[in-house]
Structure 1
Amino acid sequence: MRRNRVGLVVARLQKFLRTIRSPGEPNVAAPGTADCAEVEIFKNLLEMADQIAAHNPGGVLQLVSAILRPLQAEQMLSVAERPRHAALSPVDFEQLFSPDYFFSYFNPEDCLQVPVEGHQVDLGRDVVLPTPWAKERFAASLAFVGAGKQLGIWRQDSNHGILLVLPWRIGIVTGGNHSITAGILANEGKVSPTNVVDLGPLLDRVKSDGVHFICRQSGRRLAKVRDARMAALFELGRYIGPA
């Protein structure tokens, strides 16, 4: 069984600090021309965010959901459509926006630990990213958990763990992947997160132009954009505002 990773967040962040390049070293993204279609996707998504925010900034959270729903579906469905023991790996908090760990730029001040009190994750509204991996447990959860089923309506259990990432309100499941997946698919349940982090300071330090992630202070290229949707998602955090 995959370990609950909530308790490892701080330790991993400290590990990244030891592996990032020193300020004097160049950290320029690999050469190459960005795919024009990908850059167009990035620009179009931000233009849509502008249109939404002009009427209601809170509506940008629904655009966040639209961007992440395909990823959510892939994570939930891989256990069903792939061979046994071949489900996708869990979504990695540190690689949420880029395969390069926090753009090789992380320091502890970029990630604020927020008290969990007052925060709640709605499985039917918020984007929650579980990764079920055991076929039998996946089948049993969908068969037995939920209103009108043998085990009844979905309820939070002691093994459920969710890391809530602000300001986007992205929930990354760290425990109870199978039953949380059942709650999402049944549009049932609310969960108190086990850990809450706010990446607002990272937004203050890093920006994206759709081609690279860039240090806002020095203009240095930190990492190449690999996925236009995820680069746009990062920028949408500015529309949502403080957590």
Structure 2
Amino acid sequence: MRGIVDFEYCKITDSADFSDLKLDPSVKFIFQATEFPHFFDLSQLVNIPTEIDLTVANFAENTQDNRIFICLYNTDVSKIKMDYSHFTLWLPDSIRYKMGRSVERFSSEDKVSIYESLLNNFKSRGQLESYERLDHEYRDYRSRRHWYLRLLALINRIWWNDGYTKGLVFFWAVIFNVIFTTINFFILSKLNEHVYEMENLPSLTDMKIATKWWYSLIYTVGIFFSPYVENGEIEV
């Protein structure tokens, strides 16, 4: 294939297979306002002479739940410019390519390589939103091997969105403090006598509910956030 390959304002239906093409140095793909199909195969493109810009295509009909599956096995993804909000990686275990070739099988290492190469591509281009979206997807892929990895991945996602929303840590800290404060409210006397002693705690007998809840909060926060708990006493 050589020269300018122009798909400007074209609508490609069903699927688009650009895999395993032999590209001349003069080849340049144009996808201005192109409507892509649901499956887009760009695998086995090693020597891409000029950048393939997919960001200029028409994605008006592609929603969050109707993204384009793109295959990039053994392709130089550094030459692919794309906004990952419109795509998701398509990683089949095997593909039968054209020209009567035998079935090409792909290992988990091949899939990891695609994820990491594309992440590096987004990072080098400063496409932070695409990087984050793909990183979430990559973490989900890596956690599929064992149930406990899926559990840890879920906790990590909920706790602080895989590190992308660090403010969630403070949100959950408040939630857990409220939960444990409520629990400690009912057993504050026993906790103070047998677990950690809070100095200068007034008698809990006949203490008003609001006051007791306040001291329960101080007790809980003391455990969570006090600089140190020393000699069995909470210093606040």
Q: Same fold (TM over 0.5)?
A: no
Question: TM-score range, shorter-chain basis?
Answer: under 0.3
Computing the radius of gyration from Cα coordinates, the structure with the larger value is 2
- TM-score if structure 1 supplies the norm length? 0.21
TM-score, normalised with respect to structure 2: 0.21
